[in-house]
Chains A and B, each alone.
Chain A
Amino acid sequence: MFDIIAVDISGRHKTNDGYLMVCAAVAASVTADHIEKVNQIVVRSFRDSSAPDVQDVVKIVEETVSELKFSGTIVTEAGDFYNKPQWLIDSMFSCDLKYQESLSERRCIEIAHHVSLSSRKLLLKELDIR
C-alpha cells in the first residue's frame, strides 16, 4: 500500500471580480488499482486578481497540503502545472510530487476534483458571485 495526497484545483478562470479558486487535497492509502482508505480531505479557497502562474499554483498546493495530518507523495494532473516537466515542478516543492499514473491515483484525483468543484459551486452560491 502507498500513501498519496491527490490534489485538484477548481476555478482557474476569471469570474466577475477576479479568480476564486478552491483547492482540495485528499490523503489516501492506495494500491495499484484501487483506493484502500481515504484518510483525510482538506479544502481551501484562494482569491487572486490575476491568473495564477506556476509559482502561484505551487503555493496553493503547498498551503492546502500543509493542513493535512497525513503525509504522502503529492499526485496531480500534469495540466494543473501547465504540462511542465515533472522534474521541474518536483524541484519547486518541499515534499515529493508526481503526475498521475496508476488507476488508483487517477481515482483519487477524481475525488479531489469532485470535492473542489462542488465546494466552489457552493461558495459561489453563498457569496452570490456569478
Chain B
Amino acid sequence: MMRAILVKRNDPRSDDDRNELQMNELRELAGAAGYNIIAEMTQMRHPDRKYHLGRGKVEELSQIVTDLKPDKIIFHNPLSTMQIYNISETCRCETIDKFQLILEIFATRATTHRSKLQVELARLEYELPRARAVVSILKKDERPGFMGLGGYEDSYAQDIKNRMARIKNELETIQKDNESLRAHRHSRGFSLAALAGYTNAGKSTLFNALVDENVESKDMLFTTLLPTTRSLKVKGRDILVTDTVGFIEDLPHWMVDAFKSTLDEIFLADVVLLVVDSSEQMELIRKKLLVCHETMWDQLQEVAIVTVFNKIDLITDDELQEKMATLAYLAPHSVTVSAKTGFGFEKLKEQIQSLLPEWKRIKLSIPQSEEGMALVAWIYDEGLVHSINYTNTISIDFEARDKVINKAISLANGLS
C-alpha cells in the first residue's frame, strides 16, 4: 500500500467544522485511492504564490518527508504547476492535489473502454493549461538557443490538443449509441429512473436491494463509476433504474463535462432518486444536498425528484423527523428507507409510480381469432391489463401509454 501525507491550507477566519469535514473527505478519498495516511499537516494562512503554504511550513513538511519517506504528498487545495514543482523540489517527493487524486481514483477503477477514454480526457483537460509550464520547467537547464524552446512547448500542447480531439470524437460516437439506446428504451415503454446523490450516500446498496442485483457496494467514496441499469417492476409497470457516479463538493467543471455521458443518465431520466445518508449530522446532510442541487441545477430540466432518506436503521425516529422537517426545503417528495433492512421500499415504489409519466386506461373489444390473440399478447407485453373477458369477442381493460393505446385501437379496428 502506498503511503501519503495529507496537507491542507485553511483560510483565516474560516469555519473550523467545515475545515474538519473537508479534511475528513480528503482522508476518505485518499483511502479510496489506496493510500495509507502516515501524517497530516494543516496551516491557517492566505495562499503563498510560490509554495501555497508558508515557506517555513514547507521546510517542516520536507523534514517530515525525510523522516517518514512517503510516496506522495496530497494537498486538499488546488495547486498551480509552479507550486507543485517548488514543493516537489523542496520536499523531494511527488506532490498532487485533490483533483489529481480524484483522477487517480477514476483511473484505477475505469475498466471499460468508454470509462478509460473519459478518464484520459479528464486528465488531458487538467494537463492542457499546465503543459507549457511543465515543459518550460523541465527544460529549464537546457536553454538551447535560437528557436530552441518554443518548439518543445508548442508541440507538447498541440499533441495534447490532438489527443483530446481524437478522444472526444470517439466518445461522441459512443454517446450517440447510448442516446439511441435510451430513446429505444423510452419508445419500448420503459420509464427511466436514476439514482443520484453525494458520493457514499448508499446509492449502490439501495440499487442492489431494489433490483436484486450484485453491483459492487462498499463504504468508500466513488465505488461506482459506470452506470448500471436494471429493470424494476413498480405496481405493474416496468421501469429501468440506473445506478450512477456520486457527486462531490468542488468537482471541477471540466471534470463534470468529461463525465457528462455518465451524468446524462441522471439528467435524462423521468424520475431522479436523490439518495441521502440520513445517519450523518444535519449540517453535513444539508451541505451535501446543496452540492447535489448545485450540480443538478446546471443541466436538470423538468424532472421529478424523490428524496430518499437512506440508512434510517442507524438513527432514532425523533432524529429522523427532526432532520426531515429541517431539510424539507431541500428535499422534494421525501421517503424514508433502509436499503439494508428493506424498510420503506413499498412507499418508495408508490412515490415513484405517482411521478412517472401518466398512462391512460381504456376498454377494447377484439375479435376472437388468431390475430386477435396475438394483439392481446402484445398488449400484455406493453401495458398493464386490469381485466379480460373471453366471450364472442375479447373485452380487455388495460392501461398503457398513448402510443400503445393508439396502435391497439387501430389494430383492433383493422381486425373487426
Pair from one complex: yes
Chain A residues at the B interface, C-beta cutoff of 8 Å = 2, 31-34, 101-103, 106
Q: Are A103 and B297 in contact (CB under 8 A)?
A: yes
Which residues of B are found within 8 Å of A2, using beta-carbon distances? Answer: 329
> Bound complex: CA of A32 vs CA of B296, how far in Å?
13
Residue on A nearest B300 in the bound complex, by CB: A103
Determine if B296 and A103 form an interchain contact, defined as CB atoms under 8 angstroms apart.
yes
Interface membership of B342, Cβ < 8 A: no
Q: Which residues of B are interface residues toward A (Cβ below 8 A)?
A: 290, 293, 296-297, 300, 304-305, 307, 328-332
B329 touches A101 (CB 8 A): yes
- In the complex, the answer to whether A32 meets B328 with C-beta atoms within 8 Å is yes
Q: List 12 interface pairs A-B (beta carbons < 8 Å), by A numbering.
A: A31-B332, A32-B329, A32-B330, A32-B331, A33-B304, A33-B305, A33-B332, A101-B290, A101-B329, A103-B296, A103-B297, A103-B300
Which 4 residue pairs of A and B lie closest in terms of their CB atoms, listed nearest first?
A32-B332, A33-B332, A33-B305, A102-B330
Please name the residue on chain A nearest to B302 by beta carbon: A34
Q: How far is the CA of A106 from the CA of B294 in the complex (A)?
A: 9
Closest to A105 in B: B329
- Verify A101–B330 contact, CB threshold 8 A: yes
List of B residues within 8 angstroms of A102 by Cβ: 293, 329-330
| A72 → B minimal CB distance (Å) | 12
Give Cα distance in the complex from A102 to B293, angstroms: 6
Q: A45–B365 Cα gap in the complex (Å)?
A: 65
Known: A32-B332, A33-B304, A101-B330. 10 other contacts (CB 8 A): A31-B332, A32-B328, A32-B330, A101-B290, A101-B293, A101-B329, A102-B329, A103-B293, A106-B293, A106-B297
Give Cα A34 to B300, complex, Å.
Answer: 12
Q: Which residues of chain A are near B297, meaning CB under 8 Å?
A: 103, 106
Given the complex of chains A and B, what is the CA–CA distance between A33 and B293 in angstroms? 9
Report A117 CB to chain B, min CB distance, Å. 19
